[in-house]
Amino acid sequence: MRVMALDWGERRVGVALSDPSGRVATPRCVLDTLEVRRRGPSLMRLVEEASPERLLVGLPLTLSGEMGPQARKVRSEAGQLAHDLGIPLEFWDERFSSEEAQRIVWESNRTTRDARGSLDMIAASLFLQSYLDAQADPEGEPDDE
């Protein structure tokens, strides 16, 4: 199952896609948040090309795991997007994905300023991979391989 993950921010939305088998997450692109809110041509073209069977949106929970104002806003906007696109929606805890994306960029010797746009799609791919891994092994048991 192909999953499209969105890291929804105030200015940018990072996009990552799974492979068709739903095992591997790959950063795809960054869209302007207004483009996503308006269902603009870049978003619609991406959805048409990728044909996702599920939307996964990162939920920015508070450090204590609670829904704050930003998480409620993301839930509302993503819910409307999924409805408009006719694609099932799930949410996934995205706490620390941005920090992990910054660490990855730093370790690749790129500055955060140079990689500002790519941070969002890297963060989306990180929480998408976490989701895919959990779907493959929902009980957290080690593989028998």
Per-residue buried b or exposed e for 53-63, using 16+ beta carbons within 10 Å of the residue's own CB: ebbbbbbbbee
- Of the candidates 32, 96, 106, 23, the one whose C-alpha atom is nearest the C-alpha of residue 58 is 96
Question: CA 20, CA 3: separation in Å to the nearest integer?
Answer: 8
Question: CA 43, CA 35: separation in Å to the nearest integer?
Answer: 7
pLDDT tens-place string over residues 54-105 = 999 999 887 888 898 999 999 999 999 999 999 999 999 887 666 666 666 6
What residue segments make up the domains of the chain, in order of their start? Answer: 3-136
Distances (CA, A) of 27 to 84, 119, 142: 24, 9, 26
- Of the candidates 47, 44, 40, the one whose C-alpha atom is nearest the C-alpha of residue 4 is 47
Question: CA 58, CA 94: separation in Å to the nearest integer?
Answer: 5
Residues in the chain: 145
- pLDDT surpassing 80 at residue 144: no
pLDDT confidence of residue 104 = 62
Higher-confidence position of 21 and 145 = 21
2 band by pLDDT with thresholds 50, 70 and 90:
very high
In CATH, the architecture of 3-136 is: 2-Layer Sandwich (3.30)
- Of the candidates 109, 107, 91, 88, the one whose C-alpha atom is nearest the C-alpha of residue 99 is 107
Cα first-last separation, the chain: 23
